[in-house]
Structure 1
Amino acid sequence: MKKSQFWRKKMWSLHNWIGLYAGVVIALLSISGVVALFKVELDKTINPSLYKVVPKSEKITLTPIIDSLKSVYGHDTFNGIKFSEKPDESVVVWFFMNKSSFEFINWEIFIDPYSGKIVGERDYFTTFAYFIRHLHVRLYEGLLGRKIVGIAGLALLISTITGFWIYGGFMKKQFFGAIRKKNLRIVSADYHKLIGITSLFFNLVIAITGAWLGLQGWLQPIVMESGRPNKYHAIEKPLSQENDTKYSFSFEDAYATSRQLFPEFIPQTLVSSKDGSRSVSIYGTVPRTAFERESFVITLDKETFEELHRFDIRKASFGKKLFFIQESMHFGDWGGIWLKIIYAFFGITSGFLAMTGFLVYLKRTERKRKTDHNFTALKPLLIKWVLGILGTLILLAVLTQFYGMVLPSIIVITTFYSWLLFLIIREITRSIKRKILYSKEAI
């Protein structure tokens, strides 16, 4: 066997193995990722009564209203303020409450900035926006879910590279884009190759950034300091933690000062310190930059509004720029709605590749599988998988709506690890049985 044929065979085996064992996860991440691209837009469309307000000539001062809310919900639970992105949108105030070891609430209060009226309240953890984000980022599994997603990103990366390697030989034999109508296996294989080569660059970007975002907890300490590079770390802390959380200051003045000191800066979220540093950090973006949302930061003293810290990514090191470009490249939220639509078009391709690859595998192994007493024909097998996955997702969505994140996460964790343990025990048992059988045959 020639060396090139040997390596092509190895790549083919690796490509098939990854597709078989990681294909379902990649398909789920592909579909959920496309929906997650529009989670903000969908949330505002689903809940117009929370977000939409009637614009007036002047906005009122919200500081007294927010201070009164802090007194009701607890100063230490105050998590931040989301400023209006448009004149006809409400301001959102967050309170994060840890009621017990198994009950967390991220309470959102929507305020009309023109009248000061509270237009609605909700727990963010019960929303569709959180459901789709948590599903895509962690597979709704709180312990190792993010790492599993990162490993799936590595699987997509290897699958994309090996697929391109394999397809190189076919390009010489078959005109690019030609779809042979011989049978389901051939049709699926040709579409698999066509979509794979067309979306090659996009899937490489998604795979690399997805792997980094998922495995960031492991990789970041190796390549750079831990934590987010734009965080303000105070050297001096003039207040106690209790007094810091209760410290009253003008949120409007903090907003205006950040705009005055950093004219290009568009403030989006305000977070007040709780560690005694007497600081307020305003997170936002700078137009025409391809960095993650709310990665630019300016931190002020709550008392004097003196600038304590500024993080302008354009002046940061290459490593920090790389850190803040990963998520924006992965979700495409730096170029407006049209870029998201382009991302959605290409984003579904990895799921399509996983499904067509699975079809090819099932048809290729159909004759061998028919000898198994548990054999299931292709159509009912696909229906069973699709209904099973959809049913699980619907169940998680309903439970999230009524119980927040904790109960669905516990269900996923227990079922996932039970299923994984079952597979491991089954494979070990089968391996032992095969060894015993071979030993008897040898005798």
Structure 2
Amino acid sequence: MAKSSKLNRQWWFRLHSWAGIKFSLLLFFVSLTGTLAVFAYEIDWLLTPELRVEQPLEAHVRPAGELLAAAHAANPSWTVSSLNLGLPGFMAAEAIARDETGELQRIYLNPYTAEVIGVARWFNAHRFLRQTHRHLMLPLKWGLTIVGLLSIPLLLSFIAAFPIYKKWWRGFAKAPKSGDTPRRWWGDLHRLLGVWSLPFIALIAVTGLWYLIERWGGGAPSATSLLPELSATPQPQDAASLTPAIDKALAQNPGFTLKRILVSEGKPLLLQGQDSALVVRNRANTIALDAHSHTVAGQVKGEQLSAHQRIAEAADPLHFGTFAGYFSKIIWFVWGLAMTILSGSGVWLCALRLGSRRKGPNPQAAWRLIGHSRWLQLALVLASLGLTLPFIFA
């Protein structure tokens, strides 16, 4: 019986090692970019002076119509398509627009004065991290499929960890000891990070699998599909005149927090944000506004969504930890770092096992153990970085 149990544990260990090592390069890269993407806007805040604003002690955000008007006035020949009001108070409001050549640009506005601070290119750190993490900068269909497929070995590795690590719950307090051998120290670190990251790994694997299902036909209808059939309505030339219409719509929905406005010529204005439904994208709560007649043309709330749609709208907030502001984002960032280290420490443990006391770890043998897929994984990582260069130097 003991022998059978040992063989069973060895089988699970081989599965855990196979799933963790054979896909380690791509898992490390995707984990790292996803972890940094949690604070993508904050990274842009550091890199882009135009994104920084001084938040007054008594902060009163200017009406959205005024901000749209300022964006239009600063660049009359550009076509503004959206206004992002959901950034932290120390960041500018952000309008997305197409210039005369059709290129996307960002217009930064001080949300407290409605003054245009500056303009920046659409491609920034936020886009780089999101696009490399989501689809490796490859065509969406295939890139997202490759990344989504990583959820399978991640899920297998998660499942296999339980039969391998007996009484795993004791590992929460078992930290590496400074006097241990490198192999034991890294092993203890791997187990410690793994135990603390169990809920996060399961969540990332499940949401990653959901993105794959979505990509190949299992997605839910968008929340905005519940809006009634809307007729085309002309937008006023003066965007500031939208303020009364927006204020009226928000007054009718006192629990609604406006995060984003979508502007499309000849179509109703879409106000998106957060309401009483928990853990949903902003688009799950949408108010369609006839900006010409100043009336609400249609509305959908998160509570109206089907179970299928609620799953779809919860995927992003759960995957990136944006559902509770900085509280959840910090936790997700720490968990993401742990998962990234786990992707690398598993291979390093393998190098230590394949090494010797005299010569130390054997990285070459561990590299070969990844198998022929290492070249494909390395090529995908390099291709992802290489495809970024045209955007950087455009």
Fold match by TM threshold 0.5 = yes
Residue number in structure 1 paired with 2:78: 73
Residue number in structure 1 paired with 2:158: 160
Cα distance change, pair 27–314 in 1 and its aligned pair in 2 (3 A): same
Residue number in structure 2 paired with 1:42: 43
Residue number in structure 2 paired with 1:189: 187
For 1:342-421, list aligned pairs within 5 A: 342-366=331-355, 376=364, 400-403=391-394
| Aligned amino acid, residue 260 of structure 1 | A
Which is bigger in relative contact order (C-alpha 8 A, separation at least 6)? 2
Cα distance change, pair 342–362 in 1 and its aligned pair in 2 (3 A): same
In 2, are the aligned partners of 1:149 and 1:211 still within 8 Å (CA)? no
- Match among 138, 145, 148 for residue 147 of structure 1: 145
Larger radius of gyration: 1
* Structure 1 unaligned regions, length at least 5: 404-443
For 1:117-156, list aligned pairs within 5 A: 117-125=115-123, 127-143=124-140, 144-156=142-154
1:230 aligns to 2:224 (yes or no)? yes
| Aligned amino acid, residue 134 of structure 2 | V
Q: Deviations over 1:248-273 (max 9, x none)?
A: 66332343133112111111211123
Cα distance change, pair 58–184 in 1 and its aligned pair in 2 (3 A): closer
User: What SS does the corresponding residue of 2:223 show, helix, strand or coil?
Assistant: coil
For 1:30-429, list aligned pairs within 5 A: 30-52=31-53, 59=62, 61-62=66-67, 64-68=69-73, 71-74=76-79, 78-83=80-85, 85=87, 90-96=92-98, 105-112=103-110, 117-125=115-123, 127-143=124-140, 144-168=142-166, 177=174, 179=176, 183-218=181-216, 220-221=218-219, 224-225=220-221, 228-231=222-225, 235=229, 237-238=231-232, 244=234, 250-274=241-265, 276=266, 278-286=267-275, 289-366=278-355, 376=364, 400-403=391-394
Residue number in structure 2 paired with 1:426: none
Cα distance change, pair 315–376 in 1 and its aligned pair in 2 (3 A): closer
In 2, are the aligned partners of 1:137 and 1:214 still within 8 Å (CA)? no
In 1, are the aligned partners of 2:106 and 2:122 still within 8 Å (CA)? yes
In 1, are the aligned partners of 2:228 and 2:298 still within 8 Å (CA)? no
Cα distance change, pair 238–397 in 1 and its aligned pair in 2 (3 A): closer
Residue number in structure 2 paired with 1:408: none
Q: Deviations over 1:10-45 (max 9, x none)?
A: 322222221122112222222222211111222223
In 1, are the aligned partners of 2:274 and 2:282 still within 8 Å (CA)? yes
User: What SS does the corresponding residue of 2:224 show, helix, strand or coil?
Assistant: coil
CA distance in 2, matches of 1:233, 1:187: 57
Cα distance change, pair 289–13 in 1 and its aligned pair in 2 (3 A): same
In 1, are the aligned partners of 2:40 and 2:129 still within 8 Å (CA)? yes
User: What SS does the corresponding residue of 1:120 show, helix, strand or coil?
Assistant: strand
Q: Deviations over 1:162-213 (max 9, x none)?
A: 12222138889x9972657664333323322232122212211121112223
CA distance in 1, matches of 2:48, 2:172: 49
In 1, are the aligned partners of 2:109 and 2:118 still within 8 Å (CA)? yes
State the 1:116 CA deviation.
5.3
State the 1:315 CA deviation.
3.5
State the 1:9 CA deviation.
3.4
Cα distance change, pair 59–340 in 1 and its aligned pair in 2 (3 A): closer
In 2, are the aligned partners of 1:258 and 1:267 still within 8 Å (CA)? no
In 1, are the aligned partners of 2:38 and 2:333 still within 8 Å (CA)? yes
State the 1:233 CA deviation.
5.6
How many residue pairs are counted as aligned between the two chains? 374
Q: With structure 2 as the length reference, what TM-score do the two structures score? A: 0.79
Cα distance change, pair 326–142 in 1 and its aligned pair in 2 (3 A): same
In 2, are the aligned partners of 1:92 and 1:110 still within 8 Å (CA)? yes
CA distance in 2, matches of 1:58, 1:7: 62
State the 1:282 CA deviation.
0.7
Give the share of equivalent positions with the same residue, in percent. 23
| Aligned amino acid, residue 73 of structure 1 | W
CA distance in 2, matches of 1:135, 1:146: 10
Cα distance change, pair 8–272 in 1 and its aligned pair in 2 (3 A): same
State the 1:295 CA deviation.
3.2
More off after superposition, 109-118 vs 279-288:
109-118
